Amino acid sequence: MPMVPTISDDALAHALADYRAATPGSAALFEKAAQRLPAGVTSNVKFFAPYPLYMTRAEGARVWDVDGREYLDYCLAFGPLVTGHGHPRVLEAVRAEVERAGTLIFGAPTDLEVRLADRLARLLPSAEMVRFTSSGTEATLHALRLARGATGRSRVVKFEGHYHGVHDHVLWNLDQPLPPKAAADGIPMATSAQTVVLPWNDVAALDAGLDTADDVAAVIVEPVARGVLHPDPAFLHALREQTTRRGIVLIFDEVVVWPRLGLAGAQGLYGVTPDLTTLGKALGGGLPLGALAGRRDLMSLTVPRAGRAPGTQTPYVFHGGTYNGTPIALAAGLATLNILEEPGVLDRLDARAAQLRDGLGAIAARHGIPLQVLGRGSVMDFYFTDQPIHSSREVWASDLPRRRALDYRLLVAGLYNAPVHRYHLSLAHSEADIALTLDRIERALTA
Ligand SMILES: Cc1ncc(COP(=O)(O)O)c(C=O)c1O
């Protein structure tokens, strides 16, 4: 029987036709790119159908594509650019470091690493010691290995809908609920026995899951799922209590939310201190930088054998990476922190995001549209449903085709983001930019 098209299918078809008409330059470049780069991209996250927009230039809160179209940018490179594109102080710090050092990389430690590690230790409750990586993926990979090395156990607990990067043990149930399902092919079958997936924000399911799973080394969790779904505080406290009782390493993946929920991260906000924390995105101010931070006794397991006192019996866990902590990434990260630590700066950023969230909620109320607006700090997301959203399950049950259709209309209207993705804000987004954004959203929603 032929499928009856829904209103959303029709809306999506129209939005896609308008998108194609507005972006012929990206369509042409995609044709060429896809000959050499699968799907015309170098990261699957950057692809969206029928083709992504190819960008050429950016300034502050704005980006321009190959067709010369201007967009207000709410993707912000999927989060890192908390000060906006090309903040003069961040660019100057990178320039100055290249000129001072005379190189892009030493392959030897530098004073910048010590300074940024000190800053993190001062800001983040869990960060007694720090190691830098080049990405969030590497940070979570090393955190899991450290937990395994420390406990001598193998299994890892993660939650439905939580993303921790691209490695085998965490690429599970990204966009669907249990039963356990790898998000793509190529993950070894043996991994399925090592990864335990549990529902998020559900204390009873957590208790039952940890009761039945043995050999658990770590629980890895986005303390605020998808960057915008805030947990019942009792869930985070239960996580801390349960993992401590069972000798399991608790890892908070704060790659998205630090420092967007405050410089003490979600752990500061909720008063729950994990054993290890992973950072990335904004940490490098737009350059590749991640970090693994945590308890001194755990982090010390990475000290090479040659650096240990004779007779030391603790496990040895390997951590490495040619590009870990390059001077320019550290300089950009430190410059970004210098800006964010100035009094009132994060409050101003949060106020802009609140203006966007409140404005969107008011538009939905005005037009009788069932919409849930999510997030705190400088991240925001929204889904079409009249049901409150407590976990990814309710996101998946919302009217995603309607959201997708809206997002293509917004691309045509000059708001840039990957479709059905959370919004990030930056210091460069002005009050007037938010007003313009709300106007564009209201027109697109009611078109
Ligand atoms: C919560 C979370 N953890 C880890 C990662 C992986 O970071 P990266 O893309 O830098 O490897 C991401 C990326 O989006 C993320 O959102």
Determine the atom of ligand 1 nearest the C-alpha atom of 135: 10
End-to-end CA distance of the chain: 31
Closest-lying ligand 1 atom to the alpha carbon of residue 257 = 1
pLDDT at residue 113 in the model:
98
pLDDT of residue 4: 46
For ligand 1, atom 8, the nearest C-alpha belongs to 136
Report the separation in Å between the CA atom of 242 and the middle of ligand 1, taken as the mean of its atom positions.
Answer: 26
Residues with CB under 6 A from ligand 1: 78, 135-137, 140, 163-165, 222, 253, 255-256, 280
**Residue 43 Cα: closest atom of ligand 1:** 9
Residues 411 and 181: their CA atoms lie apart, in Å, by 32
How high is the pLDDT of residue 7? 54
Q: How far is CA 142 from CA 133, 169, 213, 333, in A?
A: 9, 12, 22, 21
Is residue 281 flagged as an active site residue?
yes
pLDDT of residue 291: 98
Residue from 210, 88, 229, 235 nearest 163 by CA: 229
Burial class (CB in 10 A: 0-12, 13-18, 19+), 182: middle
Question: Whole-angstrom Cα distance, residue 150 to residue 139?
Answer: 16
Q: Probe ligand 1: pick from 168, 255, 323, max atoms within 8 Å of CB? A: 255
* Residue 6: predicted pLDDT: 53
- Reported pTM: 0.97
Nearest C-alpha neighbor of 327 from the set 38, 108, 118, 29: 108
Q: How far is the CA of 308 from the centre of ligand 1 (A)?
A: 32
| Inter-residue long-range contacts of 232-241, CB under 8 Å, 24+ positions, other chains counted | 232/201, 232/203, 232/390, 233/270, 233/272, 234/203, 235/200, 235/201, 235/202, 235/203, 235/206, 236/270, 236/272, 237/272, 238/203, 238/206, 238/207, 239/206, 239/272, 240/272, 240/273, 240/274
Which structural domains are found in the chain, ordered by start? 7-86+343-446 (3.90.1150.10), 88-340 (3.40.640.10)
Instruction: Take residue 112 and report the two structure tokens written for it.
Output: 């910048």
DSSP for 187-226, please give it.
Answer: --HHHHHHEEEE-SS-HHHHHHHHHH--SEEEEEE-SSBT
253 is catalytic: yes
Q: Which residues on neighbouring strands pair with residue 252, listed in sequence order?
A: 221, 277
Q: Cα(81)–Cα(407) distance, rounded to whole angstroms?
A: 21
- Strands 249-253 and 195-198, by their bridges, are unpaired
3-class DSSP state of 246: helix
Q: Which atom of ligand 1 is nearest to the CA of 288?
A: 10
- Between the alpha carbon of residue 338 and those of residues 61, 111, 148, 258, the distances in Å are 20, 17, 35, 15
- Residue 413 bridge partners (DSSP): none
Q: What residues of the chain score a pLDDT lower than 50?
A: 1-5
The candidate with the shortest Cα–Cα distance to 276, out of 257, 249, 297, is: 249
- 3-state SS, residue 293: strand
Ligand 1 atom closest to the Cα of residue 137 is 11
Q: What's phi and psi for 187, nearest 5 deg?
A: -90, 125
Instruction: Give the sign of the dihedral formed by CA 62, CA 66, CA 67, CA 68.
Output: positive
Q: Whose CA is nearest to atom 14 of ligand 1?
A: 165
Q: Are 437 and 416 in contact (CB under 8 A)?
A: no
Q: Is 165 within 8 Å of 127 (Cβ atoms)?
A: no
What is the whole-number distance in angstroms between the Cα of residue 32 and the centre of ligand 1? 28
Q: How far is the CA of 105 from the centre of ligand 1 (A)?
A: 24
Tokens 């209103």, residue located: 7
CA of 140 to the centre of ligand 1 (A): 9
What pLDDT shows up at residue 2?
Answer: 42
Residue tagged active-site, from 202, 253, 381, 433: 253
List the Cα angle 288/291/292 in 5-degree steps.
Answer: 155
State the distance from the centre of ligand 1 to the C-alpha of 158, rounded, in angstroms. 14
Which segments within 114-159 are labelled E, that is strand? 129-133, 155-159
DSSP state of 354: H
Please choose from 132, 142, 163 the residue to mutate so as to test ligand 1's pocket, defined by most ligand atoms within 8 A of CB: 163
